[in-house]
Amino acid sequence: MKSFAKSTWLIPVGLLILSLLPLLGGAHRITELIGGAEITKDNARFFAAPVPIVLHVISCSVYFVLGAFQFSPDFRSNNRRWHRTAGRILIPTGLASAATGMWMAVAYPPLFGDGTALTYIRLMVGGAMMLFVCLGFAAIRQRAFNDHRAWMMRAYALAIAAGSQPLTLGIVFVIYGAFGEMEYTLGMTAGWLLNLAVAEWFIRRRKNPEVLRVRVENSVG
């Protein structure tokens, strides 16, 4: 348990590295819009309706960076006031990130790889993320700290899947040797599922030491 506590600084660093690609991608989109870049087939929809993408990039950027430090037990314990203040920012930005993602899914015309199935999956993922954030908020209001942490971890896992999806898309491409609508949908969906699976593993890993500690204390008492 001591070695695990000493290594918790790796959690925010790992999450920041995972979020690097979507952060750079978002910054690139904003730079294109501000700088008046050449309109192409890839970015035309953002120039036609910039509000959803701008709000999405801003909310995701704040959510990714602040959220990364929320899951380090040492940092959280030593900076409780910061943790509460950041949490008050993360709840609305998390909801905004999910809502604008859903907005873009229905407002922007599809590009190569996008299809009806992926649109519905994006809506379900956005809805699930909003639900998880709300459940996390309700849990902290009831002082259910473990439940709060678990729901917030699940919400963050869905959001930051943008950093995992290049990997899952690459694996799908290697397997199928092609990149059509079905393959793109599988790769994107695999990224969300992978992140949720990792989040669940961390949630259960943290529960087990607590159960063990309680049992040991009870047996000693």
- The verdict on pTM exceeding 0.75 is yes
Residue 52: its pLDDT value, please?
96
Residue 41: its pLDDT value, please?
86
Give the total number of structural domains in the chain: 1
| 220: in domain | no
| 188: in domain | yes
| 82: in domain | yes
Q: Fill in the amino acid letter for 23.
A: L
From CA 63, how far away is CA 81, in angstroms rounded?
18
DSSP annotation of 38:
P
From CA 156, how far away is CA 201, in angstroms rounded?
14
| 166: in domain | yes
| 142: in domain | yes
Residue 208: its pLDDT value, please?
58
What are the E-state strand segments in 1-89? none
Question: Tens of pLDDT along 169-182?
Answer: 999 999 988 788 99
Residue 99: its pLDDT value, please?
97
Residue 122: its pLDDT value, please?
96
Give the residue numbers spanning the domain of 187: 2-208
| Tokens standing for residue 50 | 């910039």
Residue 2: its pLDDT value, please?
46
| 215: in domain | no
Question: Tens of pLDDT along 7-39?
Answer: 567 888 889 999 999 999 999 999 999 988 889
Is the separation of the CB atoms in 94 and 129 below 8 Å? yes
From CA 121, how far away is CA 113, in angstroms rounded?
13
**With left for phi above 0 and alpha for psi between -120 and 50, is residue 24 left, alpha or beta?**
alpha
| 57: in domain | yes
Low-confidence residues in the chain, pLDDT < 70: 1-8, 207-221
Classify burial at 193, counting beta carbons within 10 Å of its beta carbon; exposed 0-12, middle 13-18, buried 19 or more. middle
From CA 103, how far away is CA 195, in angstroms rounded?
22
From CA 43, how far away is CA 65, in angstroms rounded?
25
| Tokens standing for residue 38 | 């050449």
First-residue to last-residue Cα distance in the chain: 21
